[in-house]
Homo-oligomer: A and B are copies of this chain.
Amino acid sequence: MRISARADYAVRAALQLAASQEDGPVKAEAIATAQDIPHKFLEGILNDMRRGGLVASQRGVNGGYRLARPAADISIADVIRVVDGPLVSVRGVRPPDLSYTGPAEALLPLWIALRSNVREILDGVSLADVATSRLPADVSALTHTPDAWVNP
């Protein structure tokens, strides 16, 4: 279960925009420096987010990027879907399009359960939540068990 570099960078860039929402447009270069993201790679990601309607861009001297909607109205899942397609996929296909046979038949409901769980978290957390470090109570509760922080 891997979260791609594109997705991670996109979310961080969006968070940076959420934090600078009042200060007018933010340049790609400024985001790249603040978040330590390869800046040319970031430009492509910002472009995807623009085409996906998450951010708006402004060229010229005092240009840059800004969020197209309030940060509280954009979920982490929204960002990931725009830059990476389906939130969770198996071999590149989304769970309902899979078909398993024999003893693997019950694998489909398992992936469905997994996706449902992932959605519950990523759909339920907004950019504003993360940018202000105020995660919803149910998500925060998951981090309070000490086991959650150690590697297997």
Contacts and interface: CB of A to CB of B under 8 A. Distances in A.
Contact of A113 (B81, B96, B135): B135
Contacts of A55: none
Interface of A: 1-5, 8, 11-12, 15-16, 18-19, 34-36, 76, 80-81, 86-92, 94, 96, 100-107, 109-118, 120-122, 125, 129-135, 139-140, 142-143, 145, 147-152
Q: How many copies does the complex hold?
A: 2
Contacts of A133: 105-106
Contacts of A143: 109, 112-113, 116
Which 10 A-B pairs rank lowest in CB-CB distance, beginning with the nearest? A19-B103, A113-B142, A116-B148, A106-B133, A103-B131, A1-B88, A15-B103, A5-B91, A3-B90, A12-B104
